[in-house]
Every structure is written in structure tokens, then in C-alpha cells.
Amino acid sequence: MPKYHESAELAPRDVVARAIAHELELVRRPDAAVYLDLTHLDAERVRKRFPMIYSTCMQYNIDIAAELVPIRPRALRHGRCAYRSVRADVAPRTLRRRRVACTGVHGANRLASNSLLEGLVYGARAAQNMREQLHSANKHGAVASAAAGNHGQSAETEKFIKKVQSLMWQHVGVVRDGKALQQVVPALRAMQSQAPQAGDRRSHEAVNIVEAGLLIARSALAREESRGAHYAWTTL
């Protein structure tokens, strides 16, 4: 990391993510990874300080206190920064679009753990708003029952979701390119008509995933300058 930023691994998360992505591109292998080294720290302190991370990694036979930890950029980083495209109101109804809502309480690149603000305040408001809407729908008899017996479509639903995720990771990832985004937007629009129509929860999630992806891609295409975690390599 020192060759990418003077703060090395303590650089802003978007800088670290781009550095990781660049190193992975240099290797050009599907199983490539960079490594986090905690071995210089007291092992017992690491286990006590990060108990969940430690136990999770141990499930994959990785002892973070004694071994190098393979890491890659997380897609989640895109949704947690304030360049998100769907502006939330106070209620906030748009927070139901999961992590694409922009509440305006963070800057272009929020600090670690500051998402608790949105989780506690706006999460509670979103839940209250949904309860009120559900109560209103029940009152007017407008609630549709979920479809049953659609087990045959579950595999197709998962296949569809993986296709959207792969497309987003490849072309709307850590570094965005204008020409690639021009191709992704119509591709996602076409996939909207191919979304599962079953009525179960996972099918609804699939519809939301492709819609959220389209919103992110369109917003990235509209913003030609780099800002926060949105890094535009080339513009149109």
C-alpha cells in the first residue's frame, strides 16, 4: 500500500479498494488475492478484538492471528457511500431499495462504522413507514398472497441473480469506464423484462437487484468526474 498512498493500509477505503483491484489485475488469475498481515500483532489480542472475524475465518482454516489473510474488494463498499443514487425522504420510503438510498448524512466516502447512524435512525423510520403502508393495504384489501409451489423456478432465480451480480462486478465495480457503462445500461434494461415473475421473496429480491443495478449504472454513467468511491477511469 505505501506505493499507492502515504497512509498505506490506513488510506481511505476507496483508495485501498482500487489498489487491491489493480494488484489483482496485474496477476490476471481468477483465484488471485492480496493478503492482509496481522502476524506482527499480539495473537491473543487479535482473537479478542475480532472474535467474529476470527471464528469465521477459522471455519475456512485461516488463522488471522498466525497466517496471511487473503482479501479482495467487497461489492458492499459501493452501497455504503453517499454517491448513492436514490434520494431518501425523512420517512424514508426509498430506503427499502436496500443500500442504494442516499440519506445525505454522510460525505462522499463515509468513515467506517458510521453506517450505524442510518441503520438505527433511518432503519427504524423505514420499518415504521412499511408498517403503516401494510396496515393501509390490509384495510383496503389490497395485499396479494405470495405464490406457492414455485420450487422449479428457484434455480432460475438464482441463475438470474448471479448473472446480474457478475455483470455489475465486471463493469460497474471499483473502477468505472464510460464505454463499458454504455453497454451495461441497456443490458440491465433488457434483463428487467427477464426477471423472475414468481411471487416468492427471492423473486422479488431479484427484481430489486436488477433495478438497483440499473440505478447505480445510470448514475455512474451520468457522473463523469471521480467522487468518493465512484472512480471514473475514462469518460464518454
Distances (CA, A) of 113 to 30, 131, 232: 30, 27, 26
Q: Which residues contact 179 (CB under 8 A, 6 or more apart)?
A: 234, 236
pLDDT of residue 113: 66
Does the domain made of 147-236 have the CATH classification 1.20.58.100?
Answer: yes
DSSP at 144? P
CA pair distance 64, 46, nearest whole angstrom: 8
Q: For 8-75, CATH number?
A: 3.90.700.10
Distances (CA, A) of 137 to 70, 71, 131, 147, 197: 48, 45, 10, 18, 21
DSSP at 25? H
Low-confidence ranges of the chain (pLDDT < 70): 74-104, 106-114, 139-153, 227-229, 233-236
CA pair distance 218, 222, nearest whole angstrom: 6
Distances (CA, A) of 178 to 43, 138, 171, 175, 224: 45, 45, 10, 10, 8
pLDDT tens track for 220-229: 888 877 766 6
C-alpha cell at 199: 411471487
CB 79 within 8 A of CB 98: yes
To the question of pTM greater than 0.85 for the whole model, the response is no
pLDDT of residue 178: 85
Please list the active-site residues.
Answer: 13
CA pair distance 4, 70, nearest whole angstrom: 19
Report residue 38: phi and psi, to 5°: -110, 5
pLDDT of residue 83: 42
Helices 178-192, 201-222: inter-axial angle, 10-degree rounding: 150
pLDDT tens track for 158-198: 999 999 998 998 888 888 888 888 999 999 999 998 888 87
Domain edges within the chain = 8-75, 76-143, 147-236
